Amino acid sequence: MLTGRNIVLGVSGGVAAYKAAYLARRLVEAGAAVRCVMTESAGQFIGAQTLAAVTGEHPVEGFWDEPEVSPHTDLGHWADAMIIAPATAATIAKLAAGLSDNALIATALATESPIVLAPAMHTEMWNNAATQRNVALLSADGVTIVGPDRGALAGGDVGPGRMIEPEEIVAALSRILEGDLDGIRVMVTAGGTREAIDPVRYIGNRSSGKMGNAVALEAASRGAQVTLITTAPAPDALGIEVIAVETAQEMADQTWSRATAADVVVMAAAVADFRPQVAGEEKMRRADGMPHLELEPTPDILAGLAGMEDRPFLVGFAAEAGSLDGALHKATTKGVDLLVGNDVSRPGSGFATDTNEVTIYTSDGAAEHLPLLSKREAAGLLWDRIRDMRSQG
C-alpha cells in the first residue's frame, strides 16, 4: 500500500524508540523505501546499526559526519512523507518553535511533504499545558498527530502517553498518501456567529472554531477539496479555500449557495439561534437606561441543507451541556446522515479546548462514543465514518 513511496522515519530519544525498528520493518513490508534520521539521545535507546539493517540505509545522526553535504535538505527533498516516532515532548516543542538544532528537526523543516507525529512520553508531560499548546500549533500547521495511546509507560506508570502501535501509524500514513478522500468536494462551517446589537456589542457564543478547523485540515490532508466557511481564524493549508463570514445570515447565504457543488457538508459551526430584530447604528449608553431587545430567529442552516433536493452527505454538530439527549433528538429529526454531539460541560470537551469527547449518531439513533481525543484525531475518526458510509451507498 506504500509501494514506491519514500518515507523518512525520524527517531527521537524516548524509551519507545525500540518500536522504531519494528515500524521501519512494517514500512518496508508495505513497499516503502525508508531512510532514518536520529537525534543524539535516540542513540541511547536504539542502535543506528539496527535501523540500518532493517532499512538498508545508514541513519543520518547529525550534520557534520555524514557523506552528504546537506543531509537534512537531501532527506527533506527525497521524502514523500516523514514520520517522527517516537516524538518526545522536547522534539514536539522544538518542531513547534522551528528550532532546528538537530538533524531530525532540520529535516522536518526542510520537507514540504506530509509529516506524521506519534507522541510518546509520560502522562504528566503529555497533559502539560505547554505540550498541548505545541501539539495544537502543529496540528493547525497541518501536521498529523496520531496517538498517544493509554497503557504501560516507563517506570511502571500507566496512563495516556504510550506511542500507538506501528501498524496504526502505517495505516494513518497510508490514508494520507493514498488520499482516501481524493477528489471529494467538502464544505465545512466553523466558529461561532456574531449577531450585532450595536456597532460594539453582539450576541454570540464561546466557539473557537478549532473543531471545524480540525475537520477541514483532516479532509484536506486526505485529498479532499475543502471550502471552509468560518467566523474564526482559519488554517493556512493547501487544499482549503477560506470564506470569512460573521453572522448566521452570511453563513447561511454562503453555505446554501455552495452546497450543490459539495459532496459532503460538515456543519461544525456554532450558529446563533437568535439575533436582534434591529441593530443600533450607534453604541448604546448606560445613561440612556435599560435597553429593550426584540429577538428573532436566525436561519436554520442545517434544516435548509437537509431540505435540498439531491442534497450532499450531511453532518451536523450539537454542543450540549450535561446531557446528549438533545443531540440524539437532533440526529433523528434533522434529516442528517451523521450528527456529532459533545457535552461542553465535561473537562477537556468544551469550547476553545484542544481536545474533544464526542458521540457520533446516525439518523436511526445508533450511537458511537469516542474517548477524549485531540480534535484532529476526532476529526480523523469522523472522516473514517463518512468515507465508509458513502462507500456503502
Instruction: Answer yes or no: are the C-beta atoms of 342 and 358 closer than 8 Å.
Output: yes
Q: Which three cell numbers stand for residue 71?
A: 543531509
Q: How many helices (H) and strands (E) does the chain have?
A: 13, 21
Closest by CA position to 75, among listed 10, 144, 21, 16: 10
DSSP state of 17: G
Q: Which residues pair with 267 in a beta bridge?
A: 189, 316
C-alpha dist (Å) from residue 216 to 150, 189, 230, 267, 314: 27, 9, 11, 11, 15
> In whole angstroms, what is the distance from residue 360 CA to residue 366 CA?
8
For 141, the 3-state DSSP assignment is coil
Residue 91, Ramachandran bin (φ over 0: left; ψ between -120 and 50: alpha; else beta): alpha
Residues with active-site annotation: 205
> In whole angstroms, what is the distance from residue 331 CA to residue 309 CA?
19
18-29 vs 48-55: helix crossing angle, rounded to 10: 10
Task: DSSP for 147-174, please give it.
Answer: -PEEEE-GGG-EEEEEPPPHHHHHHHHH
Instruction: Answer yes or no: are the C-beta atoms of 242 and 234 closer than 8 Å.
Output: yes
- Structural element, H or E, at residue 340: strand 338-343
Measured on CA atoms in the order 17, 18, 23, 24, is the torsion positive or negative? positive
Omega of the bond leading into 199 within 30 degrees of 0 (cis): no
Contacts of 98 (CB under 8 A, 6+ apart): 109
Q: Which three cell numbers stand for residue 199?
A: 456597532
